[in-house]
Chains A and B, each alone.
Chain A
Amino acid sequence: MNALNFDPGICAKCETYDCLMKCQYMDFDLESAREERWKLIRGEDTRILNDCVTCYACEEYCPYNNHPFYLIVERQEEKGIHPVPKPIEKSQIKAMAPKGVIAPMKVKEPVINMCYFPMMLGTIRGKLFEGASAIVGSDIFCNLMYLHFARNSVIKERLPKMIENIQKNYLEPSGVKELICYHDECYGTYTSWAPAFGIEVPFKPIHLFEYLYNRLSELKSEIKPLNLKVAYQRPCSNRLSPEIDHFVDDIFGLIGVERVNRKYDHENALCCGGVFEAQQRFDLMEKNQTLNVDDMKENGATHCVFNCPFCFWTLSDLVSQKGMTPIMMSDLCHQALGE
């Protein structure tokens, strides 16, 4: 049930093994990359299983969209590997479990999916989100974070119900066909993970950035250019939808913001380190955090913009300590509208 759509035949023809050659956390030459990738495909032990830090990036590196990362997670789970200590894993699975309290509610377009971030609801306001309905909670939570825990099974078990909850309780009765995903994690779930596992998504997911760009274009005359130099902290789940990245430049263009040319951006983005703490990789956590904020500062950023609340919580103190302002993308856009 819900087998991963991974084709070994594609790997057999692959000449680059980019999935591993580009990995920022493991070193390979072409020969060892091929060897380890095939061990993984055959279900044998390989250092990938323990050394993969679940940064999601190889989903972007693979030029054939063959889902190398999802396969790692499948194999990790099969082999009983726990990247995060078991009590923390269990506790998180419990904490984020669906509460089953969802009830039908009339919604109006645009419908913004706030995932399981009720504390972020305050940002759905003003002209930017005029007339929007926001939905949030454990019963619509994408559950994709369990990739970091090597627990695809939790996503497989919960996601179909979540999709049904969204569709039956909110979208269908209101005749809404599109769902704006505030969090990259939800967008990646519906556009990458669900299709990879053959799970049907009955609505059309729209990335927040696309929505922001379109909305700001409509409100163009009201924008006051911010004239800021901003570092963009790309989140891990954006690796599942790299085609969205241009919207960052497009939005910045509209609001008069310069995306500083940092080393750790685009394909070379570096994880905020939050997940490494859960995985008890403390040295790596500190290393990535220092590299990230130093890189922002050295490239002249005055602000650091996030789209992932978790990255924001992880890095905001360090960003502030370096004299920069941490801000969520939606709030930056509010500012440009003087809100």
Chain B
Amino acid sequence: MDRIFERLADIVGSDYVSNAAEERFIYSRDGGVQMPHEPDYVVLPNTTEEVQKIILLANEEKIPVVPMGGGLVLSGLSIPLKGGIVLDMKRMNRIIEVNEKSHYAVVEAGTALGMLSAYLNKHHPSLKNSLPDAPPVATVAGNIMIHGSGHLSQSEGGFHSEMVTGLEVVLPTGKIVKLGSCSTVPYWFSRAPLPDLAGLFLGWNGTTGIITKVGIKLFPRPLLNDGLMFMTEDVDTVPDIMFRIVNTEMCEDLTFFITPKPAMFEGFQMTIISITANSEKEMRLKKEIIRDALRDYYESKEAGFVPVPKEMKAFLLEAPQKNLSAFADVRKGGGFEYVGAIIPVEKIPDAYRAGLDIAAKNGITYSLGGRMIGRGHSFMFYFAYPFNRADKEDMDRVRQALDDTNHAALKMGGIPWKAEVSGQQLILKQMEPSTYEFMQDIRKLLDPNGIMNPGNWEVNP
């Protein structure tokens, strides 16, 4: 019997470790186009202490550890590029605390975002968390480790990683540390006023440690939810339109999409303005203020607010947006590449044109869009390319589109989001060498044996 397997079974119990071929096959891939690579073991820990023991073992054996949440990142970031252990965090899904007055929740890292949302709905109906449009099984930790964003990113402070109030981390050496106010007092209210160490982990794709607990901000949940759709035919006007809407500070979420189907949307850009309010009066006022901000556009008749039937409105306003998941399957065969780039707001037209050119050049289906991050501080532009996994040529086309998209994003002054290894290489090539060296110094310091998600964020993986 495999010695490492036995020691892992001693730690988590034999039901929660596997090296069976079928398990290794499943954990070797995700929904995107990245090449599969099998782990040697799949382990599902139940506690921080079990995580710690696994990390100590991995150090002793010098084998890689790749943390995984929902496995929905689609860019291969939880594929074990060098084998070793995939640490599936889904059993660590307890909601430990909700502090209503200080608006935060403390959850275990593997808590699904949908589960947190449902829990709040039931037990704390006046509060909500920001939800990405990912399927609801995406985890709180997996999402902040890629600087994810969601339906409160525009109104409530940016990327989800910016909504983190505290962390518990198992360092690559096995030490357990708490970061933020929870390191000093029993409350997880914020990362300030202490020196902020959370940035050593957030957005690092699991290359610097295992997150075991997260303090995450919650926000008020107003009673009413409505929205407006603004339609344009000239993409160059979109940044100004977004700028004006953001500056009213009246909307909760601000997104944008273009799609060739159905026909009524082809050739137009749709800006979706989600509005929440506690009374009809407030809702009317907010809509009026937003409409006024765009008055000269609609009076010119070159753009305008589209009357949206109730059913379509419900569809457009739901969080998470199920239509993206539905679109993911249009080609059938279970393949979906969902690439993003974080770009300056004024580059939306460039991203739009690049997306259309890339889709046309590679002959692929597309859906493009994005979300305003913060009060107009940056824009998450997504390029979604579904494909049929059973069709090799289809996959090659999407792989090429992905590469083209990464190049285009960097060229226009944006940065590929949740970049796969080849995208990371492109970014690193353009990064200030001293910044890259600093990153590597930190990794060496934290992870002397190089066990954490190796192959990622390295010039020569």
Contacts and interface: CB of A to CB of B under 8 A. Distances in A.
Interface of A: 82, 84-88, 90-92, 94-95, 97, 274, 277-278, 280, 282, 286, 313, 317, 321
A88 B231 contact: yes
Given A94-B263, A94-B266, 17 more contacts: A84-B301, A85-B298, A86-B233, A86-B301, A87-B233, A87-B302, A88-B304, A90-B233, A92-B264, A95-B263, A274-B307, A277-B305, A278-B306, A280-B298, A282-B287, A317-B310, A321-B280
21 contacts: A84-B301, A85-B298, A85-B301, A85-B303, A86-B302, A87-B302, A87-B304, A90-B233, A91-B268, A91-B306, A94-B266, A95-B262, A95-B264, A274-B307, A277-B305, A278-B304, A278-B306, A280-B299, A280-B305, A282-B291, A313-B310
Interface string B283-304: 0100110010000001101111
Given A280-B299, A282-B288, A85 B264 contact: no
Contacts of A91: 231, 264-265, 268, 306
A95 B231 CA distance: 14
A90 B262 CA distance: 13
A82 B309 contact: no
B265 A280 contact: no
A88 B303 CA distance: 8
A87 B305 contact: no
B276 interface: no
B149 interface: no
Contacts of A87: 231-233, 268, 302-304
Contacts of A274: 307
* Most B CB within 10 A of own CB, among A92, A97, A280, A286: A280
Nearest to B308: A277
A84 B264 contact: no
Contacts of A85: 231, 298, 301-304
Nearest to B284: A286
A270 B392 CA distance: 60
B114 to A, nearest CB: 28
B301 A82 contact: yes
A199 B302 CA distance: 33
Nearest to B300: A85
Given A85-B298, A86-B233, A97 B263 contact: yes
Interface string B55-67: 0000000000000
Name the 4 nearest CB pairs between A and B, nearest first. Answer: A85-B304, A95-B264, A87-B233, A280-B298
B310 A88 contact: no
Among B232, B264, B307, max chain A CB count under 10 A is at B307
Nearest to A97: B263
Nearest to B291: A282
Size bracket, chain B contacts: 20 to 34
Contact of A277 (B266, B288, B307, B310): B307
A85 B231 CA distance: 9
A214 B150 CA distance: 56
Contacts of B304: 84-85, 87-88, 278, 280
A118 to B, nearest CB: 13
Interface string B440-451: 000000000000
A189 B186 CA distance: 73
Nearest to A314: B307
Interface string B204-236: 000000000000000000000000000111000
A91 B303 CA distance: 11
Contacts of B262: 95
A278 B307 contact: yes
Contacts of B266: 94
A46 to B, nearest CB: 19
Nearest to B310: A313
A90 B268 CA distance: 10
A321 to B, nearest CB: 8
A87 B231 CA distance: 7
Contacts of B263: 94-95, 97
Contacts of A278: 304, 306-307
A154 to B, nearest CB: 15
A313 B263 CA distance: 22
Give the one of B232, B267, B304 with max A CB within 10 A: B304
Contacts of A84: 301, 304
A313 B308 CA distance: 10
Contacts of B287: 282
Contacts of A277: 305, 307
A86 B233 CA distance: 9
A313 B262 CA distance: 21
Interface in B235-285: 262-268, 280, 284
A94 B302 CA distance: 17
A293 to B, nearest CB: 12
Contacts of B280: 321
A131 B267 CA distance: 44
A158 to B, nearest CB: 15
Contacts of B268: 87, 90-91
Nearest to A86: B301
Nearest to A80: B301
**Which of B301, B303, B309, B310 is most buried by chain A, counting CB atoms within 10 A of its CB?**
B301
A164 B457 CA distance: 66
A112 B231 CA distance: 35
Contacts of B265: 91
A66 to B, nearest CB: 29
Contacts of B302: 85-87
A85 B265 CA distance: 15
B317 to A, nearest CB: 15
Nearest to A321: B280
A134 to B, nearest CB: 21
Contacts of A317: 310
B388 to A, nearest CB: 26
Contacts of B284: 286
A94 B265 CA distance: 9
Nearest to A276: B307
Nearest to B292: A282
A150 to B, nearest CB: 11
B235 to A, nearest CB: 12
A88 B306 contact: yes
B239 to A, nearest CB: 17
Contacts of A95: 262-264
Nearest to A81: B301
Contacts of A90: 233, 267-268
A316 to B, nearest CB: 8
